[in-house]
Structure 1
Amino acid sequence: MILFPDTPDNTHLIQYCDVLSAIRTLLGNSAHAENIVYRPKKAHLPSGAALVPVIIATDKTQLMQFSNSKSAYPVYLTLGNIPRVIRHKPSQHACILIAYLSVNKVMGSQLTAKEKSSRVQCLFHESMRIILKPLKKAGIEEINITGGDGAVRRVHPVLACYVKNNV
């Protein structure tokens, strides 16, 4: 839950799963084992390590309604190691739902329109900070992941791209 001190009754729920588990699931998918790219073009990583570019996307067209008239936008994760032709086909399961971002109204009777807009931005950034926090350490220190081919690899997952879909 995220809340602002001056409106403690106006809570904003964040529902999310572990981002590193989502990465393990995508890299461990045997259906993609032959297509996943582990060799970086230009990167200064330890010998044998691979870069995992993390792509995050939100989709306002997929607004979800929950109980108590709460609404949320889904957040999806995919990886740059998976070729684009596979990532863009829903039937390939190369994208994982990792979170729902609260879109409840920001309350505060004394707030101007600009202050409310600022709070919405703060809410988004704080939510994403919480959801993606595990990436920071994993990107620096690396993690071991078993690929779909069964090989264990040392990888450095890093946030590479955020895509906002407003269709």
Structure 2
Amino acid sequence: MPVVEATVVVPVPPELAFAVSQTTAPVRYRWDRFIRRQYFLDAATEPAKGVRTFTRSRLGVSMVSEYVSYQPPSHVGMRMVRGPWFFAVFAGGWRFAAADRPGHTVATWRYNFRCRPGWTRPAAERIGAWLLGREIRRRIAGYAGGCADPVVLAAAHRALRGPEV
């Protein structure tokens, strides 16, 4: 199964780096140029294991995915529940670890997929790895920009503090 991966070091601690990655609309759209629209399904209001989301990419492709792991501040994982016809399988994980430099985080994002129909797999997966590789690099670069954006950082700090009473 093909795997694409991108890594970046961001100048914020892991808790904040993770919180930035989980921002929601409209703040999410400031850094995540891959997404045109995204929202929780089934009356969920925040991410957690088992929560499903709808995502429409800027390319017009839609997917329903489910969180298979949600462990702040270290990692989050998802799998496609329903998506484009050409993916038999699509899953991804984002990991966050303290960098050697204090107050910095190494963010590593990895996607794996399998294309269908089977007879197209060799060519389709080569093209898919190229295309998804390009998109994951663009997306993680946008995320790194979000980790320096005062509006995004303020929203992530609010999420870390929890609801105001």
Do the structures match in fold with TM over 0.5? no
Give TM-score scaled by structure 1 length. 0.29
Computing the radius of gyration from Cα coordinates, the structure with the larger value is 1
